[in-house]
Each structure stands twice: as structure tokens, then as C-alpha cells.
Structure 1
Amino acid sequence: MDILMYLEQRASDFVKLWLIFAFVYFRMLTAMPLTIDAEWTTIAPNHHYWITQGRWFAYVLTTFILPPHLVPYFTIALFGLLACAAYLLVLKSCSLPLDWRTLLTFPIFCGFPIWSFIAEFPSNIAGAGVSLLLCALAALAIKSRRAENGTPGWLVAAEIAALTMAIGTYQAFVVVYPTMIIALLLINPSFANLKDRTGLAVQAALILIAATLLNYAIQKLFYFGFGLLPGGYVAQFLRLDLFLDSPLWVLAKTAFQAANIYFGTPRVFGSFLIVGVVVVMGAIAGSRGSWVNLCLVGSLMSVPLGLAFASGGSGLPDRALLGVPIAIWALSILALHDRVKAIRYVSIAAIALLTIQSVAVISQYQAVRNLVAEHDRSAAAQIYQRIASVADLTQVTKVDFFGGLPAPKPVFRTGRTSSAAGSFFSWDNGNAGRIAAYMKLLGYENLQLLPEAERRGLVGRYRSMPSWPNAGSVVRDGDIVLVKLGEAIGYFP
């Protein structure tokens, strides 16, 4: 199995896929990805924040391999290149040619709007592309080993290593690999009997367990080596205690979330998506024939929601449900290959319409980001000008921000956990650290945010001050400039 030779032979196919990707993501490719979190990841003195989030390989990628992420075009384009390569490998795993069916369904694989939720974070999306490719490599490797009835030790080790790095980049990929394996079992005719399916599934499960344990061990080594502790951000989503307390309630909430996603409700995506038709047609086509197929289809749709279940059925950002686009893609392939003509024709129309809808909502989200970005740039300029009216900004000036500005009302609806409508001046009800970092990134120099201990001591001083933009909302108190943006106290770490 020479993967590089295979990809080289498919160069023309790669170009076709890239053009489709560019069509789906054109609006994001041409925009500056200055969104929430980019303000501090860009200017951070190091990338240790990845380690505290349990993403040791993201630290390796960001520190030693990937260029800066806050540049137009690059991060989304790199994700696209890696997604195209991953797709070709997934097709090979499933013994599928690149024909009109697989071209028609590629926008689901790489452009279903859940991907755009993670693409809102430029520091994440390139690494997500790397992880997607690593999962595809691992799936192809295990398929090739089973097909050739051989188990070379180095290849097993390579599969475990690939999955370990994928999970170490973004933990949500722990469900992407098994979703790919289930898709392979349903689509690849070489695995039509129960014995072959069981053998592949057991091996894949063992490899996933080994990779998860190895990732845990490596992460512990990174904590120890860098003298860091877990930051708590990722751990807050692991709520198995909720399942132990109310198992039926957690199952019901997870099922409700799955229904909202698989039926494309505006509650999740901001706009209605016709994905439900694709899912139903694919489920009918895939479950026909045996109870094993029915179980596999059920697993295909359930596994991507595994992390939602682990989080208690709700509270997990939709950007973490990265197995969902793979599952919907597999269902669309099953529907397009069904023997019933009506299912094929309905699926063709639904998939084409879903592609148009996906492009529309991704562009819609980007339009909201652009308008919020204009609001934030204008607010930053006005605030800096007001600070300059009470302090000499040719010198380093101590400053404190209290509260936040009201978030601009988006002209279009966005996804329920999307950050597209997030303003740097309203996030966390006002986060002084984000505001100061954002203004520094825009070039507003000589603003030195006070330490948290000093900021807490000034809270009472703001009670008598009016809020922005009223006169007196920016004042000088000794050698400190106080800026009151809102009445709520805002975020304190």
C-alpha cells in the first residue's frame, strides 16, 4: 500500500475535489480569520495553552510545523487540501471510485456546516485537517491489513500512532475514526459477511483503545515536562455523573440533540437544512438486507453523538460533533447506490439542495462575522480615542475595562453554538483580557491591563460611573484609566 503513489496517481481527482471545496468555502477563504480566541493565541508568547487543554500534538503542530494561523486563506485552504487527501483515502478504504456520486457527496464530507463551526477558530481548523487525514490513513491501513490477511507489527503501530496524534490534536476525533470504520463496513463489499465485519470491528476497537490510552500517557508526560496542569476547559464537558444520576434523562437529551442535527433544524444551524431527507433515504438503503446492516446504520448515526452523551446530553459545542458529517456522507453514498430508483432520485435532489444550503449558511455565518468585525474595529478605535483624551498614550498607560458592550444583533441567524456573532467587547459579558489583547492585535499600543488583583479592588469605583458611550465612561484615576463599557461586572478568571 503506497499511499503517496496512490495520491500522485489521483492528482486530477485531487484538483476536482479542491475546486469543489473552494466553491463551498469561498467566502471564508477570502476573509481575515480574526475571531474569538485568535486575539490571544496569535500574540501568546508560546503555545502552552494547547497542553493545558489536553492537546499535546496541537502544541507540536503549532510550535514546530504549522505557520501562523491568523492569515487570510491559509488555514482554511490547508484544511481543504488535507480534507481532499483524506477523502481520496476514505474512498479507497470503501472501494469507491471518484465518480459523479462521490463528487456530489464530497461537499457533505468536508462542507457540512458543523465543519464551519470549528473553522471559526483558525488555531483549530488546520489541525483538524491533519487529524482528519490521520484518521483516514488509519482506516485505510486496517482495511488493507484485513483484506490481505496480514498483520505486520509496524503497520499496527503506525495506525495506533496516527490515531494517537489525531486525538492529541483535537479530542473529538476519538469518534471520527470509529465512524469511518462503520462507514467502511456498510459500503465496502469486501466486508459483506458477519465474520469479516466482526473481525475488522474488533481490531479497530482495540486500536482505538490503545491510541486513547497512549494519548493519555503522552499528555501526562507533557504536563510533567512543562510543569503545567490541566486547564479544566475540556474536562468541563465530561459529565458522566449526570448519566449515573439520571440515565434516561441523559439518553433522552442526547436523542433530542441527534434528531435536531440529523433533521437540520434551525435550532442548530440557524436555517433549515434538508439533511433529514438524505439521512432517511440512506438509513432505508443501508439497513435493508439483514439485522446486522440495521445495527450498523444505528451505530453509524449514534457513534458521532458519543461525546454529546458523555457530556450529559447537552452543553457540548456542536463543533465537537465531527463524526456527524462523515456519518451523513456515508448515508448519502448508501442512498445513491440503492437498487430502488425512487430512493436514488430523491437522494440526488436532496444532496444537491443540501450542498446549496450548506454553501448558503456558511456564507451567511461569514456575513455576520464581517459585520461584527466592523463593529469591533469601530468600537476599538473610539475607545482608544477616548483613552487618548485623558492620558498620554505615547507612554505605557495602565488601563482597566469593566463590563462589556451589548453584542450587535446579527442580521442573519447563526448556529446555536457558533461564535460567528461573537464580539470581542461582549464575549463573557465583557472580558478585559480579550479586549486588551484584541486592541493590541489591531495595533493600539501602550495599553497595559491591570493584574486581576488590582482590577477586583476597583470594582466599587465603577458604581458611580456612567456606561459607554456616555461622558464620564472613560476617566483617569491617578495613573490608571478606567473604562466602563457596561453595567454587568463582566468576566474575572
Structure 2
Amino acid sequence: MSSLLVLFIVYFFELTHFTLSIDEEFSNNIAHTISMGRWGHVLLKSTIFPESFITFYTEILSLVILALSCSVISKTLGLNTQQSVFFSILYSALPQFAYQLEFSNQSDTLATAVLLSSVSTYLTLRKKGFLLSVITPVIALTFSVSIYQSIIFLPVSIIASYICYAIANNKSDLTFKNIVFKPVIVMIVAAVAYSLLTKIIQWHFGKSSESYFLNMIGWIHQPVNETIKSIVAFIIDYFSFNAPYGLSIYAFSLLFLVVIFVSPIKNRFVFLLSAAAVILSPFLMNVIIGGFLPPRAMNCLAISFAASGVILFTLYAEKRILWAVPVIVLLYGTASSSKLFYTGYLSYNQDYNVSSFIANDIYKYVGTPPDRPVRIYFYGALNVDSVDKPTNHDMFGSSFLNWDAGNSARISAFMNATAIAKIIPASFDEIKPEIEKINSAPLWPAKDSVFKINNVVVVKLGSTPGNCINGVSKSTDPTRCL
């Protein structure tokens, strides 16, 4: 309940102000998600969760599930009630979840993946018997990874936190079999099962794996020394207050663990190793791919941050001044989250207003009522004045009118989703024969920027076509444009 209350406070602006972010404009992401290997997401969206989302409801559902995951992790660590409240505030107030809640079309399934992975780790560490401590965790982890691949390393952060907590509190119930052997087996089997099932499911639906993940792997696209530099630079950013907006506070987890290290604890060397594992475990996926990951993929930060704080609290529980830590984190997280979502809110309103003017010009040119569908191609990206954005804001505040350097399908979907217009998207190939006419036309909102080519209304927003000229893909990667 404390976790849920904190989540409501931190994300109150998101709950009360509707925005449409990049990727939320499409009403059906099933085929695209299968090609990305996220068939667990598809299964949930095809059964118990709305596709693509329901305003307010999906956000509330996501927060409830995240609060449940906090409870499971607290139980896994063996925290008492007071410690659990301390942990839950730090876990829920770190605004990393903002970067997932920005995408309502997957926030509920991502929260489910976090919960399933947490349950898998709890069963592995706390239960006995092959069925409960191995088979069930494998199933739960396999399904969670099928929702969001970077979740595979979430058990590592929980287990490292479990070990660090036990050592700091001089507990001796740690065994190699329980904290290393079984978890490693579960993760390996889950990874293999996921890979096999993904190939089978993609074959069944006639989809091939997208190159999105392979294109991110630095080890195969640049020299080894450059890749190592990229990894180190990325990690250092999180400890030098240069992290994505709202996440710089993660650097204090290092301070928490340093204070614990100089405290009167036994097995200081073993604690040092486990503390290093706690604080660095969120970056395992960066090591695997060899470089940058967007903040929405840094799913383990909240666990490591909250664990480092609560371990310090368990050693100095009598010092009430420590309660200032979760209070400050709550205030910081609320301010950061509200700033990010307000940026998205401003950008959404700007896109809505400008798109309304564009739609008005289209229907005036066509001469039909605005409730009639029109075949349209948006050429290029509109140079809109950017809203005031915080530093390192990731995708918050991004405009549909210039994303992908101009993506006709996205702009059309945005206008359709917001009931600004009824658009039948056209492809670039349909207007390509008249490219000279397009090049000679002025940019919107100038007169003659809206014209017809082969029964397709062309709106010239930019001087060059975007990265995805046919508007089929939802990525800036040209290799994914059909």
C-alpha cells in the first residue's frame, strides 16, 4: 500500500493529464511486437489487457502491478514492515518507471514482466522442491522475458541485493546452491526456452526477427576498445549526475554502500563484492550489447537503488534522520516525473493544434466534409518550435510531425487517433513519379503546399523525405523501412 500511494503521488500528473506519446498512436501493434520477439506482450494484449491501451485505466493497472512487484521483492529480501516501507518509497519514487509509463501501449505488460520476474526470483531463493524452486521460476521468467527482453537480468539485481543485505546484517543462511547455482540454471534455461519459443512463434505467424536489437550491439559494429569505452562512459554518466532526467539520484546508491562499508560489519571483502554487484547489476545489458541503452530499458535501477538505501537503514534504524532520505527521493521523483510528463503534455497539445490547422487546409483543398476519409501522404518533417524540454529527456516531448525525420504513417495515425481527421495513409511509391513537382512545391503553411498526385493529397511539411519514406516502420532505422 505504501508503494501504491507513492506511485500515485509520483505519477499523479500522468494519471490526470492525457497525452499521446510516440508509439501510442497505432491501435494495433501485434505484428510489430511479434517481430520484435515480444510474444508474451501479444498474448497478454490478446487476452486480459486492452490493445493498445485505455486512458487512465492502463496507467492505474500498471501502477498496481508495480506495487505488487515491490511487495514481492521486499518479501524476497526478508524485510520487516518498517524496512519494507522504507524500501517501497525508494523503489517507487525513483522515476525510472516514468520512461515506461510514457508508453501506455506497453506499460501494463512491462509491469507484469517485472512482477513475474520478481516472483520467479522469490520462488528460486525462498522455496524448496524442484517444481516450486526451478520449474515454476523458469516458466515465470521465460514469460517475463517474452514481454520485455531486458527483464532477463532483473533477478540478478534482486539476488545481489539479497546477498548484500544478508552479509551486512551478518546472516549466515547463504549457500552456493541457493544463491548461485539454482538462479543461474533458471536464467539459462529461461533464456534458451525463450529463444526457441520465439523462433517457433515467429515462424507460425510468418514474421522474421527485426534487426533492432542486432543494430544496437556495439561489439559487432565497432572496435572492441571503442565498445569498452562506450560501456564505461555510459555507466559513469549514472554516477556523475549526467544520467537521463530524474535518474541522476541513482548516484547516491554508491554513497549508501560506502557508508555501509565503513560500518562495523563482518566479511567486509565479501560485502564489497556483493555491493559492487548490486550497484552495477542494472548495467549488465549494456555490457551484453556493448554500449547505450535508453532509460526505459534500465529496469533494475529501482531495485538496486532501494536495496542500497534499505540496507543502510537496517544498520542504523534507530537514527530517524534517515527517513529524510525517502522523503527527499519522493519529492525529487515527483518533481522529475511531473516535469517529464508535462513536457509530453505540451508537445501533444502543440501537435494537436498544428495538426488541426493542417487538416483544415487539407479539407479546404479537397472540398469535402471533415468526416470523409481522404488519401494523404505527408512529405517530410515539419520544423515546429520545440517545447521546453529538460536535459536528457529521452523521448518525452517528441513531436509526431517530425519524428523519423518525417513519417507519413505516424502523422496519419496521430490525426486518426485524436479524431482530427480521417486519413487513409498513402505510400511514397504512389507519389514518387511526380517527385519533381513535390520538390518545386513550397512548405506548409504556404499556399500550394497541399496538392494532389495520382488521387493522393500531398502535404509538403519538409524539403526531404523522412527516414521511413513509405511510413511502414515505426523506427528511425532505415533498414526496417519496407
Q: Which of 202, 227, 247 is matched with 1:250 structurally?
A: 227
- Quick one: which of 150, 155, 158 aligns to 1:180? 158
1:160–1:210 CA contact under 8 A, matched in 2: yes
Is 2:117 the partner of 1:170?
no
Distance 1:415 1:393 in 2: 44
Q: Is the 8 A contact 1:31 1:72 kept in 2?
A: no
**Alignment match, 2:192:** 213
* Residue type at the aligned position of 1:165: F
1:451 aligns with 2:451: no
After superposition, give the CA deviation of every residue in 1:285-331 in whole Å (9 maximum; x if it has no partner). Answer: 158532221111111222211112223222x2121111111111111
Q: Find out whether 1:20 has 2:6 as its counterpart.
A: yes
Contact persistence 1:332–1:347 (CA under 8 A): no
Shift of residue 444, structure 1, vs aligned partner: 4.1
Kept in 1: contact 2:344–2:397 (CA 8 A): yes
Q: Which residue of 2 aligns with 1:35?
A: 21
What's the CA shift for 1:405? 1.5
User: For the Cα contact (< 8 Å) 1:54–1:234, is it kept in 2?
Assistant: no
Contact 2:450/2:457 (8 A) holds in 1: yes
CA distance in 2, matches of 1:414, 1:102: 33
1:110/1:461 Cα in 2 relative to 1: closer, same or farther (>3 Å)? Answer: farther
Match of 2:86 among 75, 98, 104: 104
- Which residue of the partner structure matches residue 100 of structure 2? 118
Contact 1:104 1:352 in 2 (8 A): no
**Structure 1 position 84, deviation (Å):** 1.5
Following TM superposition, by how much is the alpha carbon of 1:197 offset from its aligned partner in structure 2, in angstroms? 4.7
User: 1:403-431 CA distances to partner (integer Å, 9 max, x unpaired)?
Assistant: 11124423241534x21111110111111
Match of 2:238, SS? helix
Count of residue pairs brought into register by the alignment: 463
- Does the Cα contact within 8 Å between 1:85 and 1:133 map onto a contact in 2? yes
SS at match of 2:419: coil
The letter for the 2-side match of 1:205 is V
How big is the shift at 1:446? 4.3
| Cα deviation 1:322-341 (Å, max 9, x = unaligned) | 11111111111112123598
The yes-or-no answer on 1:318 pairing with 2:304 is no
Q: How does 1:165-314 map to 2 (within 5 A)?
A: 165-188=143-166, 192-193=171-172, 196-197=175-176, 199-242=178-221, 245-246=223-224, 248-265=225-242, 268-269=244-245, 273-285=248-260, 289-314=267-292
Q: Deviations over 1:107-131 (max 9, x none)?
A: 3313322211111111121011111
Q: Does 1:60 align with 2:43?
A: yes
Can you list the C-alpha shifts for 1:125-152, whole angstroms capped at 9, x where unaligned? 101111111111111111223xxxx423
Aligned to 2:120: 138
Cα deviation, residue 461, structure 1: 2.3
Equivalent residue, structure 2, for 1:79:
62
Contact 1:282 1:335 in 2 (8 A): yes
Percent identical pairs in the alignment equals 19
1:241 to partner: Cα distance: 2.0
TM-score with structure 2 setting the length: 0.89
How many angstroms apart in 2 are the aligned matches of 1:349 and 1:308?
Answer: 32
Native 8 Å contact 1:191 1:197 kept in 2 = no
- Give yes or no for contact 1:242–1:312 (8 Å, CA) kept in 2: no
Shift in alpha-carbon separation, 1:409–1:216, aligned structure 2, 3 A: same
1:410 aligns with 2:403: no
SS of 1:50's equivalent? helix
How far apart are 1:283 and its partner, in Å? 4.0
Tell me the distance in 2 between the aligned counterparts of 1:345 and 1:250: 45
Q: Does 1:429 align with 2:412?
A: no
For residue 240 of structure 1, what is the amino acid of its counterpart? W
Deviation, structure 1 residue 449 = 2.1
Shift in alpha-carbon separation, 1:457–1:205, aligned structure 2, 3 A: farther
407-416 or 463-472: which moved more? 407-416
Distance 1:378 1:291, change over 3 A: same
Give the whole-Å Cα distance in 1 for the aligned partners of 2:97 and 2:104. Answer: 12
CA contact (8 A) 1:283 1:331 kept: no
Q: Answer whether contact 1:275 1:350 (CA < 8 A) is retained.
A: no
TM-score, length-normalised on structure 1? Answer: 0.87
Aligned to 1:381: 356
**Does structure 1 retain, via aligned residues, the 8 Å contact 2:377–2:428?**
no
- 2:117, 2:155 within 8 Å by CA — same for their partners in 1? yes
Q: AA paired with 1:153?
A: L
Change in CA separation of 1:74 and 1:263 when aligned onto 2, cut-off 3 Å? farther
Kindly indicate whether the alpha-carbon contact (under 8 Å) linking 1:95 and 1:188 is maintained by their aligned counterparts in 2: no
Q: 1:198 to 1:241 in 2, by over 3 A?
A: farther
User: CA contact under 8 A between 1:402 and 1:484: conserved in structure 2?
Assistant: yes
Select the residue among 330, 333, 336 that pairs with 2:313.
336
**Structure 1: unaligned runs, 5 residues or longer:** 1-13
What CA deviation, in whole Å up to 9, does each residue of 1:124-182 have, x standing for no partner? 2101111111111111111223xxxx423354211000000110000110111111111
User: Contact 1:398/1:450 (CA < 8 Å) preserved in 2?
Assistant: yes
- Cα offset, 1:272, TM superposition: 7.9
1:382, CA displacement in angstroms?
0.7
Aligned to 1:439: 415
What are the superposed Cα offsets for residues 174-227 of structure 1, whole Å, 9 maximum, x if unpaired?
111111111111224699449615642221011001101101111111111111
State the Cα RMSD in Å: 2.5
SS of the residue corresponding to residue 46 of structure 2 reads helix
- When structure 1 is superposed on structure 2, of 69-78 and 215-224 the one drifting more is 69-78
